[in-house]
């Protein structure tokens, strides 16, 4: 009986050491800043609390603010940039481009209700090269 208990304990120790050695944690953070990405990409950091308004609240001290990060492409030239929110991890336009509004592309404006969200025509906001 004592031999079977000791064999059981040795087997459990071997299993626990083997399982501890084989477990590897994969980090959800693939980049820390945009210099680790290629020239046409940025380091997109996804926050744990998504911004949905203009109010900026600082992160709470004991919370991890970002949950993951990865290299994502910038919006190409003439691409729509209407729904880009940089604090939510969107890359936006390339560093040498700017998001510009073209009213001639917007068309007739519809009047939404008091609290309705009306983003406008996505083609009215485009990434264009910065004027020199």
Structural domain contains residue 15 = no
State the Cα–Cα distance between residues 3 and 44, nearest whole angstrom.
58
d(CA 104, CA 123): 10
Residues 106, 14: Cα–Cα separation, whole Å? 68
Q: What angle do CA 86, 92, 96 make, to 5 degrees?
A: 125
Residue 16 lies in a domain: no
pLDDT per position as a tens digit, 65-115: 667 788 889 999 999 888 777 667 788 899 999 999 887 776 655 555 666
- Is 94 within the bounds of a domain? yes
Give the residues across from 125 on adjacent strands.
101
Domain count, the chain: 1
Question: At 123, which CATH number?
Answer: 2.10.80
- Residue 27 — pLDDT band, cuts 50, 70, 90? low
Is residue 85, in this structure, part of any structural domain at all? yes
Residue 14 pLDDT: 43
Rg over CA atoms, the chain: 25
Q: Is residue 79 one of the residues assigned to a domain?
A: yes
In a domain, 6, yes or no: no
In 3D space, the residue among 47, 120, 111 whose CA is nearest the CA of residue 83 turns out to be 120
């Amino acid at each position: 009986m004592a031999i079977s208990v000791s064999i059981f304990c040795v087997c459990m120790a071997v299993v626990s050491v083997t399982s501890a050695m084989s477990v590897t944690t994969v980090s959800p953070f693939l980049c820390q800043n945009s210099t680790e990405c290629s020239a046409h990409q940025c380091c997109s950091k996804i926050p744990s609390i998504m911004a949905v308004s203009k109010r900026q609240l600082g992160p709470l001290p004991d919370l991890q603010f970002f949950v993951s990060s990865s290299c994502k492409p910038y919006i190409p030239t003439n691409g729509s940039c209407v729904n880009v929110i940089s604090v939510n991890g969107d890359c936006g336009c390339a560093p040498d481009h700017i998001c510009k509004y073209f009213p001639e592309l917007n068309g007739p404006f519809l009047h939404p209700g008091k609290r309705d969200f009306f983003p406008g025509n996505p083609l009215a906001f485009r990434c264009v090269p910065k004027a020199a």
